[in-house]
Amino acid sequence: MLTFLWYFKILGRPDYLFKSKQDRYGGVTFVNIGKFFVSVEPGPSLDELDQYFEGLLKGVRVQPFNFPGTAYRHALQCRKKLMEILRTELEIQKQNGNESQARNDLMDGLMHMKDEEGKQLGDEEMFSESFG
């Protein structure tokens, strides 16, 4: 105990002991989600996705009152912005064509998936499959 107090005095407060697991590992988890879903590397675009996704999750367990200033409305707006970003990513992947086969992510898999009748999924079906 005395050693810990001595380190505390010399080095200052060890923040890693006081942060929650979510704070320590949440960013790493979202980086992996970004890579596996749409092949987004860490940077400003992933940070923007993280903000919108966090806003979306805050509105999941609240009352569905669609009034300005409520968490539900904010979640709806974040979902709309997320869908716009994902639509642009989808268009970029469609334009690249053969180059997108090298990308091994969820969106690429959904682009190549076919339904029971042999038809490829449409854009709206892809988004409903991945984000409800």
Residue range 96-114, pLDDT digits in tens: 765 545 567 777 777 777 7
Sign of CA dihedral 47, 62, 77, 109: positive
Looking at residue 34, what is its pLDDT?
80
Tokens linked to 65: 């009152």
Looking at residue 25, what is its pLDDT?
54
Looking at residue 106, what is its pLDDT?
76
The angle at the Cα of 45, spanning 76 to 87, to the nearest 5 degrees, equals 55
67-71, 98-102, 122-126: which is most confident:
67-71
Looking at residue 72, what is its pLDDT?
94
Tokens linked to 37: 């879903």
Sign of CA dihedral 64, 69, 73, 75: negative
Residue range 49-56: mean pLDDT, rounded: 86
At 21, is the pLDDT very low, low, confident or very high (cuts 50, 70, 90)? very low
Sign of CA dihedral 48, 50, 52, 55: negative
Q: Does the structure show a pLDDT above 80 at 127?
A: no
> How many CA atoms lie less than 13 Å away from 46 in the CB half-sphere?
17
